[in-house]
Amino acid sequence: MTRTFFTIVIPTLNEEKRLPTLLSDLEKQTFNDFSVIVVDAMSSDATIRLARQCHTRVVISNKKNVSYQRNLGAKHSQSEWTVFMDADNRIPKDYLQKIKEYVEIYSPDILSSWIVPDSRLKKDKITATLMNIFMEINKNASRPYILESMIFIKTKIFQTLGGFNTDIPWGEGEDMLGRAHKMGFKFEMLRDPKYTYSFRRLKKIGTFKMLQKISQIEIIKMVKGDLTKNDAHFFYPMNGGTFYKNGEEPKMTLQKFISILFQDKEISSKSLKSFKKNIDPWKSLFR
């Protein structure tokens, strides 16, 4: 494999509708010293065929796990920088050029950039702005918030960190940045250039229900530390592009939430009874 400045890793699962558009954006880049690896989790649609038609290297993953797929792709990176992109991203033609210029001047270890939504709706623009502000505010935190849809990282540092934790189904980028922060690596969040972030999950689920889901996850993280693999399919099913065609969100009931929350936790029946009795303020999370 020829050594390039960037190796771009794109994990996929049934992304025949979105992947070709991103690959087209990559073909139009003003900076072209990069290679692309699509790591596919045995898609049942035309994803693999379309990727190969675009002369893109395809690596087959035997696991449907986005972190595992990213790690697998990174093993094939021979570039100074490894870039993780989601298949439903869009990037302007000068995106990689501007990133290259920035890293050569300021020498960060890890970086990402602000987003714009994939719609013209005012509410989506407001949501994207709030997400950008939140990422900017938290970029120097001990565990910075990041969207895993776009991460640039020096390949040697990614290897030093041990890659993404494949046991974490939510916030795996945040987890990796937390480890990077402890080791003193430099993380930057660029306001320009911006890439287009897909709001398709938000559109599929609905804004209110998505906020419910995030609230549920954050409560579980506070109690348990992190979600487990067993919890994952209740919050973020890994169905790839198929989910947006005919997939359904698993319904989270209050009883199931309590079961997940206190799983593997020692709690007396008296304490559990007291918890259920005082659950009223949380019931709105399950309507």
- Beta-carbon-side half-sphere exposure of residue 284 (alpha carbons within 13 Å): 4
Question: What is the distance between the alpha carbons of residues 38 and 11, in angstroms, rounded to a whole number?
Answer: 6
Question: What is the distance between the alpha carbons of residues 119 and 198, in angstroms, rounded to a whole number?
Answer: 9
Which of the four pLDDT bands, split at 50, 70 and 90, describes residue 110? very high
Q: How far is CA 216 from CA 87, 160, 193, 272, in A?
A: 27, 32, 33, 18
pLDDT of residue 73: 98
Reported CATH class of domain 6-198: alpha beta
pTM metric for this prediction:
0.78
Most confidently predicted of 97-101, 131-135, 229-233, 240-244: 97-101
Query: Which residue do the tokens 């702005």 mark?
Result: 129
Question: What is the distance between the alpha carbons of residues 21 and 33, in angstroms, rounded to a whole number?
Answer: 19
Contacts of 173 (CB under 8 A, 6+ apart): 146, 147, 148, 151, 164
| pLDDT tens sequence across 86-106 | 999 999 999 999 999 999 999
The pLDDT of 240-253, averaged and rounded, is 59
Domain assignments of the chain as residue spans, ordered by start: 6-198, 204-286
Q: What's the one-letter identity of residue 254?
A: L
Question: Does the pLDDT of residue 20 top 70, yes or no?
Answer: yes
**Measured on CA atoms in the order 231, 236, 239, 245, is the torsion positive or negative?**
positive
Question: What is the distance between the alpha carbons of residues 83 and 5, in angstroms, rounded to a whole number?
Answer: 10
Question: Does the pLDDT of residue 62 top 80, yes or no?
Answer: yes
Tell me the average pLDDT of the chain. Answer: 84
Question: Does the pLDDT of residue 217 top 70, yes or no?
Answer: no
Question: Does the pLDDT of residue 268 top 60, yes or no?
Answer: no
Instruction: Give the residue, 29 or 123, on which the prediction is more confident.
Output: 29
Question: What is the distance between the alpha carbons of residues 42 and 258, in angstroms, rounded to a whole number?
Answer: 34
Instruction: Give the residue, 271 or 6, on which the prediction is more confident.
Output: 6
Query: Which residue do the tokens 């189904």 mark?
Result: 169
Q: What's the one-letter identity of residue 249?
A: E
